[in-house]
């Protein structure tokens, strides 16, 4: 048997590495560029009760 924790796999995926791998295995440049544009300048805010939240850029993981 083999068990794969896909949740951890998706959260640990480096965006820069993903684009390079996609190009290397033959994805068209236009598709990679489209995905890159969807992910660039993506920011998130984590809110915790009674704590001031801060915005930070997302560099890993998938939507």
pLDDT at 41: 76
Using 50, 70 and 90 to split pLDDT, how confident is the model at 28?
Answer: very high
Query: Are residues 62 and 10 in contact, defined by beta-carbon separation less than 8 angstroms?
Result: yes
Using 50, 70 and 90 to split pLDDT, how confident is the model at 15?
Answer: confident
Query: Are residues 51 and 38 in contact, defined by beta-carbon separation less than 8 angstroms?
Result: no
Q: How far is CA 47 from the centre of its chain?
A: 20
- CA–CA gap between residue 31 and residue 60 (Å, rounded): 19
Q: Which residues are within 8 A (CB) of 54 and not within 5 positions of it... i.e. 6 or more apart?
A: 45, 46
pLDDT at 24: 96
What average pLDDT does the segment 4-28 reach?
A: 78
What average pLDDT does the segment 33-55 reach?
A: 77
What average pLDDT does the segment 17-35 reach?
A: 92
């Amino acid at each position: 048997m083999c068990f794969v924790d896909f949740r951890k796999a998706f959260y640990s995926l480096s965006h820069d590495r993903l684009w390079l791998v996609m190009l290397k295995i033959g994805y068209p440049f236009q598709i990679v560029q489209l995905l890159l544009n969807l992910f660039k300048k993506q920011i998130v805010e984590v809110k915790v009760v009674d704590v001031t939240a801060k915005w930070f850029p997302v560099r890993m993981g998938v939507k």
